[in-house]
Amino acid sequence: MAGLTRAHPDSTILRMALLHRAELRPSKLELLVGWLPGRSWFAGAAGAPVTRVAAYRFDDPAGEVGMETLLVRAGEGPVLQVPLTYRGAPLAGAERFLVGTVEHSVLGRRWVYDACGDPVYLPALAAAVLADAGQAQEYFEVDGERQVREPSMTVSGSRTDRTWPAGPADAVVDGDPTLIRAGGAELALVRRPVPADTDAVGAPVAGRLTGAWPGQDAPVLLAYAG
């Protein structure tokens, strides 16, 4: 089983995510079975098995925090977007965003957070939305050789001259979309992705992040900037 992401430490290589072949207890999906029903945007049967539809990753330039966005279903419910961050120690002041902890057979205990409340995730999401920074390429190291894993989905952002303010968010408003505000700017993460060619936002936006995966060839809206 693939483990949690660690960004590649070589700063000359951008958007690379090193994966560990490891066992997680509980698994990420098992963790979400108990956490998802408590979200206001949850749809599906409470307690139903959570299945993975697709996923994409960002990288942390410091190489400390794993960032993975899962597209999942609870039972026969709709696709839900769940960005997660994985840390080697608790994130101070982020108790409301804690999803739970897992034991990683290589890295030890990992604290799993709703990424919308993690300051490392916010600039990565903003760069994807506003500058089409893309997703991290995933790979394993086997006997000193890099083995690239093909992505399970593709994402595409806008190319604008907007930048995201430095520092943590001023506010995170849970819901669908989940709103992340900082320095007068706002990012919106769509929890139940909708077709990208519909007027789902209902207002002008500065940039969008869309995605597609096998079985979902028409792009869906994942996030946008107000």
Tens of pLDDT, residue by residue over 133-162, are: 999 886 655 556 666 668 899 999 999 999
Helices (H) and strands (E) in the chain, counts: 2, 16
List pLDDT tens digits, range 40-90: 999 999 999 999 999 999 999 898 999 999 999 999 999 999 999 999 999
> Into how many domains does the chain fold?
1
Cβ–Cβ < 8 Å for 77, 44: yes
The pairing of strands 16-18 and 137-142 is: parallel
Task: Give the least confident one: 17-21, 98-102, 113-117, 196-200.
Answer: 17-21
Distance, CA of 188 to CA of 181 (rounded, Å): 9
Per-residue pLDDT band for 105 (boundaries 50, 70, 90) equals confident
| Token pair recorded at residue 171 | 């506010």
Q: Is residue 139 part of a domain?
A: yes
* All residues at 6 or more sequence positions from 89 whose CB lies less than 8 Å from its CB, including other chains: 111
Distance, CA of 128 to CA of 220 (rounded, Å): 15
Q: Any idea which residue has 């979902």 for tokens? A: 216
Q: Is residue 167 part of a domain?
A: yes
Q: Any idea which residue has 């990288």 for tokens? A: 59
Q: Is residue 124 part of a domain?
A: yes
Q: Is residue 53 part of a domain?
A: yes
Question: Could you tell me the residue range of the domain that residue 26 belongs to?
Answer: 6-225
Q: Is residue 78 part of a domain?
A: yes
pTM above 0.85, yes or no: yes
Q: Is residue 99 part of a domain?
A: yes
- For residue 74, the SS3 value is strand
List pLDDT tens digits, range 167-209: 889 999 999 999 999 999 999 999 999 999 877 676 668 899 9
Q: Is residue 48 part of a domain?
A: yes
Q: Is residue 1 part of a domain?
A: no
